[in-house]
Amino acid sequence: MTVNLEQLIKEAVEKALEGDMDAINNIEDRVTRSRAKASLVKAKREATKEKTETSLDENSDATSDSKKDKTSNEHISELLIQQFPDDINKELSSKKHIQIQPKNWLVISRYLRDDPASLFDSLQCITGVDLGEESDLEVRYNLHSMTHLHAVEIRISCPRNKAKVPSVESIWRIGDWFERETYDMYGIEFEGHRNLKRILLPEDWEGWPLRKDYEVQETYHGIIVPKVKEGWE
């Protein structure tokens, strides 16, 4: 009997890991179900560990963008290499994006906005990415030009324990809120930002929630923060 149960739980967890939660939810017995859920959480935790250990190799992009983007991207990256040869990391750049060093980012961004060949007047989005528990944090800027109708993605990575990137708030005004959001979630400090504080979370929240090594704080204003939700997964 016990062997059967173990077997059942194992199968259900395997199925659930592939995305079929019904396998667990359909278990009749409550005790068995909760045991299955517990082992699922465990399995997931291990899986994420594995996941983060394998570094994110996106440069072998399987996706293909529209042709317009590609050509303009190469064009922009050539421009940048001519202007700022030391700041562009050519090895890490690809057709889709340009990897640059944080140091001169403010100058580069001003150049990108004002140069008649690029004219990126609109900052579409700032995305923070955690490349893994052991590796760096990365900020990704999606720029778009309303005049030339081309787009480019800029990536800047910074070390996890000393995450600092120059702020582009003065270049694109929306950078203000986007940078605050990235700071809120990843703890990346944007140097030169005039009002860098949390935006979505309460100001006294601890930790950077979207980092992969984030641990939920134990209590918040004396209220215990629940970590495993009973009866829901």
Footprint on this chain of other proteins (rule: CB under 8 A): 18-19, 44, 47, 51, 54, 56-58, 60-64, 96, 121-125, 127-130, 140, 142, 146, 149, 153, 172-174, 176-177, 185, 198-202, 209-210
CB-nearer residue toward other proteins: 44 or 103: 44
Angle between helices 105-114 and 67-83 (to 10 degrees): 120
Nearest to 89 by CA among 70, 61, 63, 108: 108
CB-nearer residue toward other proteins: 105 or 182: 182
Q: Name the minimum Å distance from CB 59 to other proteins.
A: 9
Q: Name the minimum Å distance from CB 175 to other proteins.
A: 9
Q: Bridge partners of 144? A: 122, 151
CB-nearer residue toward other proteins: 87 or 176: 176
The gap from C-alpha 42 to its chain's centroid, in whole angstroms, comes to 23
Alpha helices in 30-172 (DSSP H): 30-53, 67-83, 105-114
CB-nearer residue toward other proteins: 14 or 86: 14
CB-nearer residue toward other proteins: 7 or 147: 147
Q: Name the minimum Å distance from CB 133 to other proteins.
A: 13
- Measuring CA to CA, how many Å separate 51 from each of 61, 136, 203? 18, 15, 31
Starting at the earlier edge strand, list the strands of the sheet with 122-130.
Answer: 97-100, 151-158, 137-144, 122-130
Residue by residue, DSSP assigns 158-213 as E-STT-EEE--TTTSTTHHHHHHHHHHHH--EEET-TT---SSS-TT--S-TTSTT
CB-nearer residue toward other proteins: 89 or 124: 124
What is the β-pairing status of strands 189-191 and 164-166?
parallel
Q: Name the minimum Å distance from CB 5 to other proteins.
A: 26
Q: Name the minimum Å distance from CB 86 to other proteins.
A: 26
Alpha-carbon span 79 to 101, nearest angstrom: 16
Q: Name the minimum Å distance from CB 120 to other proteins.
A: 10
Alpha-carbon span 196 to 164, nearest angstrom: 12
